[in-house]
Amino acid sequence: MKKAFTASGILIILMLTACRQQTNNTVADNENANKQIPYLEKHGSAARLVVDGKPFLMISGELHNSTCGGFEYMRPVWKRMADKNLNSVIATVSWELVEPEEGHFNFDLVDSTITGARKEGLKLAIIWFGSWKNSGSVYIPSWVKRDYKKYPRVLDEHKKPLEILSTFGKESERADTKAFAALMKHVREVDTDHTVILIQVENEMGILDMPGTDPAAARRDFSDVADAAYNGPVPQKLIDYLLANKETLFPELKKVWAANGLRTEGTWEQVFGKSTFRPDPVDWKHYSFYTEELFMAWHYASYVESVASAGKAEYPLPMYVNAWLKQPGTRWPGRYPSGGPLPQVLDIWRAAAPSISFIAPDIYIDEYQWTCEEFMRGGNPLFVPETRGGEAGAARAFYTFGEYSAGCFAPFGIDNRMWENDDPLDLAYGALRKLEPLILEHQGMGTMKGILVSEKEPVCRFELGDFIVEAKLDSRSLKTTGGLIIQTGPEEFICTGRALDVFFISKDKTERVALDIVDEGTFAGGNWVAERRLNGDETHATTFDGAGLRFPEERVSIQKVSVYKFR
């Protein structure tokens, strides 16, 4: 039996079809909005990584350099990383494995890395081991390694070649740029759910010659083309940047430029002065051979910009570079990588490499707090992609997120501790994962502080709201520990840590502080869940004791406290 449709019936069908299509389009638009490419956003004074429309805190770890160099070796890593309470992993991709023959790319290991992380719900930051790794050019393909003429190396002051690709090698730059662009194009095509969220371009680059007997011989490239550039004019692009940012330049850079009359033309030494050498170990935080370091920073950054911009043209994920630090025993360029992305050359990197979002420190030195603060100069956001793990790492993780609103904390060689069941970092990361939404909410808002105490510095004291907070190490076995505290109301705080006593003191010396309610608990779905009320011996609640919290040594505790003042 045939059905007849009236004009009004057809109109209704068309309207329903249009409504359904509009609904489908709206759903698709919402899904696309939720699946936008990861990016960095400003939140208060902090910079947050946004993934699929939501802020993301990288509670992370960096794998060993060669972990992702073989399928079977890599396979068991991912689940254990998830079991260690990580939400992300920093993993390597090496040029030699991606392009074993010139122009022929193989991304099978890249795909395996992405698939393994995705299966365990982990996000990935990828390190591109291209032209440089720890200064040296060791992850370049054999066809680059063996052709010194086409892909020239750095020469030191005695014209000795170093196993470091020269930034003046245009064919090296072209080949690295092509390979990286191919990698980013491939990631865009295969990673539709944004497992990969961040890219590190190269690794700890700069000129380094540690075994050399002459401490200053490798402060810059001394090849003929490099000599000509050093004795030639400072690029106009850099001069324009200096003029446009004169009031906010790094103090040492502004000082040497001003000492030479704020010149807007001339050679590197005419504009920035002839370098001096300061070998005094007490004076290690000052700058030796600064002009040579500025020169090399410009050329490393320009090379990296070629690589990064080509990659971003294929897939514009946030990109950063990392730095091997100046240290007391390696205090001049050449003994730490000259030209690498350190704070004293941040302006050079910003001028030459706008595709790079930030510079990041690899911190293994004892001057941890000083390093973090140096790398936050000029509004550079703090991400720590490589540092120590274990007990020190657990303490610093709390401190780094709490004190500096950092976007990432990642101990190196995280898979080294893969089979350990008592890694202190596991406990710290378990608490941080629960606190992640609250930490992200308070980043850069002045309502969060980090705690770091040790046998050498057993007390940490700071202001938070109307209170002075005093945290003390309370341990029989730990040499260092940490925590963080977030002010969630005028007299309300969330605090987490281990082996700590945390006291609240009024800024008004005529007032005293007492505990009102202390609950130990957790966060589920971003909501506070109280698990037990704490009082008596589990707190510092008596008049003679002071008003404070106790955090046990054997585990990490999360506590919510309300306090009140009285006279």
Contact 479, 391 (CB under 8 A): yes
pLDDT digits (tens, 9 = 90+) for 300-335: 999 999 999 999 999 999 999 999 998 887 888 999
Say if residue 392's pLDDT is above 60: yes
Say if residue 340's pLDDT is above 80: yes
- What is the torsion angle, in degrees rounded to the nearest 10, for the CA atoms of residue 62, residue 64, residue 70 and residue 74? -50
Say if residue 11's pLDDT is above 60: no
Q: What is the pLDDT of residue 543?
A: 58
Q: Which two tokens stand for residue 424?
A: 């202190």
Q: Which two tokens stand for residue 419?
A: 């089979």
Say if residue 242's pLDDT is above 80: yes
Q: What is the pLDDT of residue 551?
A: 98
How many other CB atoms are there within 10 angstroms of residue 75's CB atom?
Answer: 11
**Which carries the bigger pLDDT value, residue 50 or residue 26?**
50
Taken in order 365, 366, 371, 372, the sign of the CA dihedral is: positive
Q: Which two tokens stand for residue 241?
A: 């940047």
Q: What is the pLDDT of residue 321?
A: 98
pLDDT digits (tens, 9 = 90+) for 490-502: 999 999 999 999 9
What is the pLDDT confidence band of residue 28, given thresholds at 50, 70 and 90?
A: very low
List the one residue out of 205, 204, 233, 213 whose CA is nearest residue 157: 213
Its pTM stands at 0.91
Q: Distance (Å, rounded) from C-alpha 506 to C-alpha 332?
A: 46
Contact 347, 249 (CB under 8 A): yes
The predicted model gives 464-475 an average pLDDT of: 96
Helix (H) or strand (E) holding 403: helix 390-404
pLDDT digits (tens, 9 = 90+) for 105-129: 999 999 999 999 999 999 999 999 9
Q: What is the pLDDT of residue 320?
A: 98
User: Residue 256, class by beta-carbon neighbours within 10 Å (0-12 exposed, 13-18 middle, 19+ buried)?
Assistant: middle
Mean pLDDT for the chain? 91
Above pLDDT 70, what percent of the chain?
90
- What is the torsion angle, in degrees rounded to the nearest 10, for the CA atoms of residue 439, residue 524, residue 34 and residue 53? 0
Q: What is the pLDDT of residue 420?
A: 61
pLDDT digits (tens, 9 = 90+) for 492-534: 999 999 999 999 999 999 999 999 999 999 999 889 999 999 9
Contact 155, 223 (CB under 8 A): yes
Q: What is the pLDDT of residue 567?
A: 87
Residue ranges with strand state E in 338-430: 358-363, 383-387, 408-411
- Lowest pLDDT segment from 11-20, 137-146, 469-478: 11-20
User: Which residues lie below 8 Å from residue 438, measured CB to CB, with a gap of 6+?
Assistant: 486, 488, 494, 523, 526
Three-state SS for 176-245 is HHHHHHHHHHHHHHHCCCCCEEEEEEEECCCECCCCCCCCCCCCCCCCHHHHHHHCCECCHHHHHHHHHC
Q: Which two tokens stand for residue 474?
A: 């309370």
